[in-house]
Amino acid sequence: MRYPDGGGLTAEQRRRREEVRMRAVDLFEEGVEVPCLARELRVSEKSVYQWRRTWRTGGREALRSRGPSGHDCRLGLHLQAKLAMWLDEGRPRTAGRTTRYGPQQGYAR
């Protein structure tokens, strides 16, 4: 399940993370070794290696923040329309549902 606020980061937190990546680019250009860079920026070496790969293929702009992560809705337009129609019909969602052990738990009645 995704966080509703774009991965749990505020705009300020995304800005700070982008600043760290931009500082890493400056250090890549100076030729600083990955372990030293990771210690200085207080991030994992794995992150630094990934940033360096991205930087080598796409440059500084490839490491810029792209805004909040996540998706608005993964349902296609056809399924969204079908769902809206189903909800508008006023069908009872759980009425009469039972299991072999009795009524299902956790459903609205």
pLDDT tens digits, 14-58: 899 999 999 999 999 999 999 999 999 999 999 999 999 999 999
**CA distances (Å), 49 to each of 20, 46, 52, 63, in order?**
14, 5, 5, 13
Give the pLDDT of residue 1: 44
Domains of the chain by start residue, with CATH:
11-63 (1.10.10)
The CA distance from 48 to 15, in Å, is 18
Task: Quote the crossing angle between the two packed helices 11-30 and 34-41, to the nearest 10°.
Answer: 150
Q: What is the pTM of this model?
A: 0.57
